[in-house]
Amino acid sequence: MKKRGSFVISLDYEIHWGVFDALSLDTYGENLKNVNLVIDRLLSLCDKYQVKITFATVGMLFAGSKSTLEKYNPIEIPSYDNQKLNPFKLMSNVGVDEQNDRLHFAKSTLQKIKQNGLHEIGTHTYSHYNCLASGQTLAQFKADIIAAKEIVKPMDINVESIVFPKNQVNDDYLKVCYDNGIKSYRGTEKSAIYNTKSSPLKKKLVPLIRLGRLMDGYFNLTGHNTYNVEKLNADAAIVNLPSSRFLRPYHSKLSFLEPLKVTRITKSMKHAAKNNELFHLWWHPHNFGANMDENFKNLEQIFKAFTHLKESHNFESKTMTELTLDILNK
């Protein structure tokens, strides 16, 4: 593999399936309703700067109708202790098809992404599966992944990468992914504030951890979080392409800090480009659903920085699977 830095973007594409347990439609509906518009703008900005994205997509979004969804639902559904996490309870509220329910179906938008040709479509599990939640089992996760692979087949897509919902990486589940043809996943940053495994002590520290993550978005508290991916995955069966940074949505109350947020990202990109490392940026399309112009302004600055680094250091935009194949075939 040629020595050069890589710029990977993965988006957790989920619409309502990703937030139904945490956010209400009253407070977050605008963000969700604008996701299709966000994707249109993303595709044209990516075309302009030739930046590739891995759309890690919730399997349920591939259905064009409720009857299709019911056909592909997994044979076993997760038996979470906390039933608030169970998306299958939403089925009675799901509309008849995509035209009537843009919060739960996105087949036509996914077709647009596929036809564009620049990007990868990966999985965010079939049902936005909580891999570290208590009550669910490995067999239920396996049924979910099989459903995620099946529902994309009519669109002639082969899912080869995964982003775990809520970044809950369950090491025992990686083999299930591998056995089902998934070659890479997005791990978390090294710093303890990004570890998603819970403990009683950590539960008490949640406000502090959140504050730490917020501050780290503007100021360099945890380093660049860029990676020598060949070294990191020397013996791995399934490749880990860890996150470098979550692109926080525009924050109107902290708008004076927005330039710091962008600079924090572009400096780390430069570090990756100079050291032939990976810089892996992620967010959710719904994060851009409000304050769209401000969010796209930030993204365009990041893409401009990428263009400079491409010229100066051969920094390269890659999908998760493209980078994975480079590592595996080195």
| Residues forming the site for Zn ion (CB under 5 A) | 12, 14, 18, 165
Closest CB to Zn ion among residues 60, 327: 60
Q: Which residues contact 30 (CB under 8 A, 6 or more apart)?
A: 289, 290
According to DSSP, residue 85 is labeled G
Q: How far is the CB of 39 from Zn ion (least distance, A)?
A: 16
Tell me the pairing of strands 239-240 and 184-185. parallel
Calpha distance 306→288 (Å, rounded)? 20
Chain residue at closest Cβ approach to Zn ion: 18
Q: How far is the CB of 12 from Zn ion (least distance, A)?
A: 4
Q: Which residue, among 127, 135, 126, 124, has the nearest Cα to 83 in the 3D structure?
A: 135
Nearer to Zn ion, 13 or 315 (CB): 13
Angle at the Cα of 239 (from 150 to 228), degrees rounded to 5? 150
CB of 167 to Zn ion, least distance (A): 8
Phi, psi of 219 (to 5 degrees): -120, 150
For the bound state, the minimum distance from the C-beta of residue 151 to Zn ion, rounded and expressed in Å, comes to 17
As beta bridge partners, residue 227 has 278
Nearer to Zn ion, 5 or 289 (CB): 289
Q: Name the minimum Å distance from CB 18 to Zn ion.
A: 4
C-beta of 14 vs 189, nearer to Zn ion: 14
Nearer to Zn ion, 165 or 187 (CB): 165
Contact 123, 59 (CB under 8 A): yes
